[in-house]
Amino acid sequence: MKTKHIILRSNSLATRDVWRGAGTLQPSAAGPVGQSLSSESVVIDRHAIPLLTRDAGVLAIAPAMPMRLVAPFDFNGAAIAAQTVTWGVHAVGADTSPFNGDGIVVAVLDTGIDSSHPAFAGVNLVQKDFTGDGNGDQHGHGTHCAGTIFGRAVNGTRIGVAPGVTRALIGKVLDSSGGGSSDNIVEAMLWAVEEGAHVISMSIGMDFGGYVRQLTDSGMPVELATSRALEGYRTNTRLFDSLAEHVRARGLETHPTLIVAAAGNESRRDQNPDFEVAVSPPAIAEGIVSVAALANAAGGYETAAFSNTGANVSAPGVAVVSAKLGGGLQSMSGTSMATPHVAGVAVLWAQQLAARNALNGFNLIGRLAGTASSEHLKAGYDPFDVGAGLVQCPQSA
């Protein structure tokens, strides 16, 4: 049976050359590119894969798997209490930081954006649709996430960690139902790198169950469909590993790009303390910063009951107030909401490093993870649930 596969290629450079900073961004007929990278989607028989892998330029091959947004909790339009600064912006120290994100480019790969929302006034929004639905946001998830990263104050409430951002890349990779495909995600990531993103924020996850259903609907027995889905899960993770590694290597010598992704919301600690699910792709990939969600509780910040375990860092992810589709504000909860906080903090660190002429990939990840703190976490927390701790913004120039 022939199925769609993603082929990640190195256009002209060997991996060792990327580490030396050789080459430039190469245009490709196959789509967006990062340094020496391109992707293409082809319909092939799985038995053709070994032949394709003999090509020295092929870095990874994986079936295109369904992706979905990391679905938030408390997705409602209830009235928002008056506040000057959201608790998330305060918790990461953005409200006391001397930086605001000016001069740093951030990419949000999600459901699009409501470009008419007052939270994004004055921002150059570079939009590209990878779903076929057209630009804009018919869901609301992407608008909320973008607001947390760089949204301006709405009705007197500061919602954005980095409200000084003036250029944002909005890759619409999920449709109005919150669904997408891994081939579109890869293409969008390469597009964001090409367009100069310093930080890429992705609140998306792999839809393993959806892929099993897709295969069984095509007539495949359940056992075989599950086996193929597991194979696809493994090869997609390896593909994201390879992509993130090449992007990271490029950033050591040239323009750095930090990729941040949501850990996932499948845990259920409120039902059973042992009901903890591990970080899911693409966040699990080596070289991508995975993000857990924290709640604001009595006695300190605590891991959200739904937050997947094993993340690299953590951030506010419960009752997060941000931009609402159509105007106004809305509260949502999820690792989807924690991820843009981390992306915003990374933007501020990138601005500080750029001011010191020290912005590269190594320094950026070092500042982000190295300054994360457990100081205000509730006693008894599990380090494996929160990673390096709650990310913190730079507090000095």
Q: Which residues are catalytic?
A: 110, 141, 336
> DSSP class of residue 95?
G
Q: The tokens 């992306």 sit on which residue?
A: 343
| Phi, psi (degrees; rounded to nearest 5) at 222 | -55, -45
DSSP 209-267: HHHHHHHHHTT--HHHHHHHHHHHHHHHHHHHHHHHHHHHHHHHHS---EEEEE--S--
DSSP string, 98-139: S---TT-EEEEEES---TTSGGGTT-EEEEEESSSS-SS-SS
Q: Other C-beta atoms within 10 Å of 255: how many?
A: 18
Contact predicate 171/184, CB 8 Å: no
Residue with tokens 């008419």: 116
Q: Give the burial class of 2: count Cβ atoms within 10 A of its Cβ; 0-12 exposed, 13-18 middle, 19 or more buried.
A: exposed
Pick the closest to residue 7 from 65, 67, 58, 66 (CA basis). 58
Residues 123 and 311: beta-carbon distance below 8 Å = no
